[in-house]
């Protein structure tokens, strides 16, 4: 396999049943085999993407003491800034060579669930940072909803199965900065091999290469996508829910060649999380004699907390 499969959401959005089914078949097959696709036809414009990258670069260019004031103790990095090297992959003692920011869900139509989420942290020094960040959040959330509609059909569920869980879900938009590498990393990489926690992850085009996914053969495959594409992968929650029918593929961000250590890297993933009360119990549609139930019962909220403890973000 030379690269990840490419699909076009416009096929699913069309009024042509054959095109719609083609998209369902293509994305379902890709997620059953490699767990990653490159998606065209999504709702995020090139301009909005470029605008957010400009805002993100402006934020990370702020003095460290300014950035530090946006790191909120005791919330496990759920909102605002998380400093360099503080997150590590499961089983790794070395921190990843990155700093990041979290934009979270802003609820406007459900006061009960609104009270369970933290407020987003407002950045005074970069006036458009929050506005453009949340505009991007909404476009990626909308795209994720339609991808999940297609996956629901592929699994054998009603098309709107995921809609109520993702609407007002605990999703996160994470602008990441991998600073220039100064000195020998000593075992640390920009992002150690890991699987994502959530249902699906939507990745806006990164500013440099480095993302690799692990094929079933064990081979590491470099992910390249065109500027207009989103790279979308299955997370561990969806793998659990589908009893392994859809694959949460291990991936990593490798360090660049030494001659490129002085170049920073930026990337912006959107982690699609459901509401905490969503059951991740294996779906009956994905259990049979050849595929017995492989995972214990758990809710999305319980699973998220378990994984955040493993990452060292909460105690």
265 belongs to a structural domain: yes
**Can you tell me the distance from the alpha carbon of 264 to that of 8, in angstroms, rounded to the nearest whole number?**
31
**Can you tell me the distance from the alpha carbon of 238 to that of 28, in angstroms, rounded to the nearest whole number?**
12
194 belongs to a structural domain: yes
286 belongs to a structural domain: yes
Q: What per-residue confidence (pLDDT) applies to 219?
A: 83
Q: What per-residue confidence (pLDDT) applies to 94?
A: 65
Q: Which two tokens stand for residue 74?
A: 């005791």
Q: What per-residue confidence (pLDDT) applies to 1?
A: 39
**Can you tell me the distance from the alpha carbon of 65 to that of 219, in angstroms, rounded to the nearest whole number?**
41
Q: What per-residue confidence (pLDDT) applies to 315?
A: 67
268 belongs to a structural domain: yes
Report the number of distinct structural domains present in the chain. 1
Q: Does the pTM of the predicted model rise above 0.75?
A: yes
Regions of the chain where pLDDT drops below 50 = 1, 207
Q: What per-residue confidence (pLDDT) applies to 208?
A: 53
Domain CATH for 30: 2.60.120.330
Domain that holds residue 121: 6-310
**Chain centre to alpha carbon of residue 293:** 26
292 belongs to a structural domain: yes
Using H for helix, E for strand and C for coil, what is the string for 288-310?
CCCCCCCCCCCEHHHHHHHHHHH
Q: What per-residue confidence (pLDDT) applies to 264?
A: 86
1 belongs to a structural domain: no
Q: What per-residue confidence (pLDDT) applies to 92?
A: 57
**Can you tell me the distance from the alpha carbon of 34 to that of 193, in angstroms, rounded to the nearest whole number?**
15
3-class SS of residue 88: coil
315 belongs to a structural domain: no
Q: What per-residue confidence (pLDDT) applies to 261?
A: 83
Q: What per-residue confidence (pLDDT) applies to 188?
A: 63
């Amino acid at each position: 396999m030379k690269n990840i499969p490419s699909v076009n959401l416009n096929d699913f959005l069309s009024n042509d049943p054959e095109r719609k089914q083609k998209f369902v078949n293509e994305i379902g097959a890709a997620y059953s085999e490699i767990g990653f696709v490159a998606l065209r036809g999504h709702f995020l414009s090139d301009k909005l993407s470029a605008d957010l990258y400009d805002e993100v670069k402006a934020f990370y260019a702020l003095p460290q003491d300014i950035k530090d004031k946006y790191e909120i103790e005791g919330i496990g990095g759920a909102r605002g800034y998380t400093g360099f090297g503080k997150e590590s992959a499961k089983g790794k003692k070395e921190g990843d060579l990155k700093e990041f920011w979290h934009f979270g869900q802003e609820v406007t139509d459900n006061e009960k669930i609104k009270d369970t989420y933290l407020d987003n942290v407002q950045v005074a020094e970069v006036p458009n940072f929050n506005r453009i960040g949340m505009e991007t959040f909404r476009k990626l959330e909308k795209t994720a909803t339609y991808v999940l509609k297609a996956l629901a059909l592929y699994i054998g569920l009603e098309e709107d199965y995921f809609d109520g869980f993702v609407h007002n879900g605990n999703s996160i938009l994470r602008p990441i900065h991998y600073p220039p590498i100064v000195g020998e990393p000593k075992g640390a990489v920009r992002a150690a091999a890991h699987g994502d926690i959530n249902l699906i992850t939507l990745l806006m085009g990164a500013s440099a290469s480095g993302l690799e996914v692990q094929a079933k053969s064990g081979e590491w495959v470099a992910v390249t996508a065109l500027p207009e594409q989103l790279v979308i992968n299955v997370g561990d929650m969806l793998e659990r829910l589908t009893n392994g029918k859809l694959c949460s593929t291990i991936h990593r961000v490798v360090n660049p060649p030494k001659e490129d250590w002085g170049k920073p890297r930026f990337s912006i993933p959107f982690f699609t999380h459901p509401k905490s009360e969503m059951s991740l119990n294996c779906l009956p549609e994905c259990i049979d004699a050849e595929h017995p139930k492989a995972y214990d019962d758990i809710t999305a909220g319980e699973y998220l907390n378990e994984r955040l403890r493993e990452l060292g973000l909460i105690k």
